[in-house]
Chains A and B, each alone.
Chain A
Amino acid sequence: MARVLMKGCEAIAEAAVRAGCRFFAGYPITPQNEIPEYLSRRLPEVGGIFVQGESEIASINMVYGAGQTGTRSLTSSSSTGVSLYSEGVSFCASARIPIVYVNVARGGPGIGAIQPSQQDYLQAAKASGNGGFQMLVFAPSTVQEAADMTYRAFDCADRDRNPVLILADGVIGTIMEPVELPPMKSEEEVAANKKSKRSWACVGHKLGREHRSWIEPGSFDTTNLQQRNEEAAKMYETWTPEWEAYQVDDAEVVLTGYGISARIAKAVVDELRLEGKKAGLIRPITVNPFPYEAYEHIDYSCCKGILDVEMAIPALMIHDVKAGVKERASIDTCLCSGGNIMRKKAVMDAAGKILER
């Protein structure tokens, strides 16, 4: 398959179409406007629906509605807009409606900044809405990964009947890179996928409790709601965390970060290795479930310290890193925020300091 040069947002949008996504609703916000703009052209070409919602609240609810028909459905936004998704995503989780959404994260809190940031880690990984539901959250660090994860996200969402989040950032969303796009699902495959959800889809059935579709995002019956939460909890347990371990085995300093920070950290590891310095990287690929096991592969007898690299102040992922490291090594941070992009030099210096110990 030929590689094409594409912006991250466009690659995400095209990958979604190729995965069989046929409904998108979204509200404009920088830096993810290329996703809705691309899909407003592309979806009609494949018989799909594009709607510009009047708000993020309306958009997520349109996607909640479209998802209920069995149609693969997507929305995307950025940070402050994603906050407005909370209730709708929680309804999707409660009613077990598969949807995919993307956060091309920008500076925060509040309206923050339009530039890239990783301030939304806790919201994305821990509590994207009320009610304690969990989601698979993928964090791409290249345009290729953004496309691949989006493509896969639809399968995961359908398998679990649960929302899936792609946690990207303004760099991944706007950078142009060569990408090998995943294969286009045929119209037959797309139709078969929708049909496979016919039994629960809210599209009309014969009368009667044994036939009808009831989409219930809640219940007046406390026993019923507890049971449903227990079932969801069992489903969450089927997930396997994913991570990349790079040059970790003999590392004296282990850098850790996700998404764009990890990519910058990886470049630092390569540079340090060229200088003969033993550096490694642990990059969570799923930030939920978090790959705590990854930190078991560190040789703590030679590791002088961990460097948590995040485009967030205060450090947010660090709480998970601490839970993985279990006080077997000290953890330093290299942070930036406000829409500033992590500088390689800052990471080099921070890693260097640990190596001098």
Chain B
Amino acid sequence: MHHKNRSYFTEDHEIFRKSVRTFVEKELLPHQKEWEEKKFVPKEIFKKLGDQGFLGINYPAEYGGSGCDLWYKVVFAEEMTHARMNGFAMDVFVQTDITSPVIEKLGTPEQKKEILEPAIKGEKILALGVTEPSGGSDVARIRTTAKKVGNEYVINGSKTFITNGSRADYIVLAVRTGGSITDKETFKNAYQGLSFILFPTKTEDGKTRPGFSVGRKLLKMGNDSSDTAELSFSDCKVPAKYLLGEENKGFYYIMQNFQGERLITAVMSVASSRQLWNDAVAYLNERQAFGRRLADFQVWQHRFAQWAAEIEAAQELTYRAVDLYNRKIPCVKEITMAKLITTELVNKLAYDCVQAHGGYGYMAEYDVSRIFRDVRLLTIGAGASEIMREIIVKETGLMR
């Protein structure tokens, strides 16, 4: 273990780090080129991750988890970066940090047995369905409806940009069970009419649920190894037992759920920043121009010294948020700030790293060109930077 990390990580965290690193080097990195090119990662890899215990890091043993603290998740997120597949890493974090936590928190024992347990084993894949074609930031205005008819919900509407969407077994689906976004009377309280449904994409006989369909494959700027889909629901019925938590409390659940997602986004952004920095510095030390190494030019030395300092600052802010969240101390402000600072940082840094690589930085075969495209998502997904600043405005009480 690096002695400077001792205040955050114990020897066991470091043993875990090596285990994840070896897994990543042997099971993921060798396939990186192929999976990025084919824009597809085989489903079996989830099972392999599950076998190593990576998908149930802090869940109770009862459901197959390891009951570890949050720092193990930080280790996992940091090491996953070495697979150099931000897209696939996102698929995995949708499973571990964006969908399963809310099931663990609010699910009934039956729901956990059916969904959480196989998700931890990597046998079932989960997705989060919040964003709709008409908007993602403004969660309160969700249009997809679920009407209770007898002992079922009948769902109508559509979702877009859904990670793991085309092959998810269950979608943690945000739906409108009350309120309205058209009726002026009820609109004011639109956010009070949202619910989460643990939508099973297949019926019990393993067939696609009638009324549910996955639309075209979405072509993206980056994150090629990630599965991103458009979903539609037309008079699609699910048994009422799949309601998660209480009806009409969905807005609060969604907001709470964002915390873990934003925190892990910050951790990954810092890890990506370190990787970009290391790659670029290695290149600067190799590449010659005007009879010198690029690293001999003071302009590059200063620029990357500055980035090193900013990465360190972003890292500390993130670790502080992790520490608070780990100790269950309210930290919406810290997590929001970490998400904002780290995702903006990694994008600005990526710009400079492409610049340092010159023309090669623009070539698809260089990692830096792909990572430059991949990290662009980070200031948009999991709550855009503008939304982070909105939250910070409230949290700091700056409007008096």
Chain A partners chain B: no
